[in-house]
Amino acid sequence: MSALIEFRSFNKFFGEQQVLDQVDLRVESGEVIVILGPSGCGKSTLLRCLNGLEVAHSGSLTFNGRELLDKGTDWRDVRQQIGMVFQSYHLFPHMSVLDNILLGPLKVQKRERREAREQAEALLARVGLLDKRDAFPRQLSGGQQQRIAIVRSLCMNPQVMLFDEVTAALDPEMVKEVLQVIQGLARDGMTLLIVTHEMAFARAVADRVVFMDAGRIVEQNPPEIFFTNPQTARAQQFLEKFSFVETLPKKAPEKELERL
């Protein structure tokens, strides 16, 4: 059976620079993939190619068995099935929460207002923000706006969701509420591709970790293996950066006090 998403020998250049290098990646329906790797390794570019925001140079990329790199691909249609949420949420400031969410379902999908509104309200309730349906984006916290952005994407009924560092711009106390929403989607069996720097979350949510370096996938493993026994030196170095704080020697508070 063919995978839901499959990159094969996939290459992408920006000018002379090759930013994706012979990428081979299969994603089955219902899988939760977390993509990790150092800054500039190509994580965002990989997601953006899947959403038609970047054009590939060569190789193959299929979605439901359909080749997306063909010239005739209707990206507007694909984007309804592959939702994407970024670090910045880009809600329209002059529109209420509900109108922001309903824009795609009504204008793009031409759905019935009542039916779409019912779904929007159910999704808002699910992320704990039903009472904010008539608020404007400026009246909401960053974490609330990001949850609205997720609802806006979900309300198009996509088959897959792509998340690119959706908590990177948020204050620490708002990160958890957004990650919990994503974890709920994972639990429901939705297919997710997630780029994040939240390692504890990555470990908890991933079925498989894809580690990239310099445009290549260098390692793919279940989180139990990736985080405890990374197979490549590059992955080991990458993980060491994240464990730095935890491995600092603990202060001996008694000694500190004695010196005072």
Ligand X SMILES: Nc1ncnc2c1ncn2[C@@H]1O[C@H](COP(=O)(O)OP(=O)(O)OP(=O)(O)O)[C@@H](O)[C@H]1O
Contact footprint for ligand X (CB under 6 A)? 14, 19, 37, 39-45
Which CB sits closer to ligand X, 50 or 124? 50
Which CB sits closer to Mg ion, 47 or 61? 47
44 binds Mg ion (CB under 5 A): yes
Q: Is 215 helix (H, G, I), strand (E, B) or coil?
A: coil
Residues whose CB is less than 8 angstroms from the CB of residue 34 and which lie 6 or more positions away in sequence, other chains included: 194, 195, 196, 202, 205, 206, 208, 209, 210, 223
Residue with smallest beta-carbon separation from Mg ion: 44
Residues whose CB is less than 8 angstroms from the CB of residue 161 and which lie 6 or more positions away in sequence, other chains included: 82, 83, 84, 85, 150, 153, 154, 185, 190, 191, 192, 193
Binding segment for Mg ion among 41-49, 52-60, 141-149, 186-194 (CB under 5 A)?
A: 41-49
Instruction: Select from ligand X, Mg ion, none the partner in contact with residue 83, using the beta carbon and a kind-dependent cut-off of 5 to 8 Å.
Output: none
Tell me how far, at minimum, the Cβ of 19 lies from ligand X, in Å. Answer: 4
Tell me how far, at minimum, the Cβ of 45 lies from ligand X, in Å. Answer: 3
Instruction: Select from Mg ion, ligand X, none the partner in contact with residue 189, using the beta carbon and a kind-dependent cut-off of 5 to 8 Å.
Output: none
Rounded CA gap, 203 and 223, in Å? 5
**Displacement of CA 176 from its chain's centroid (Å):** 15
Q: Which residues bind Mg ion (CB under 5 A)?
A: 44
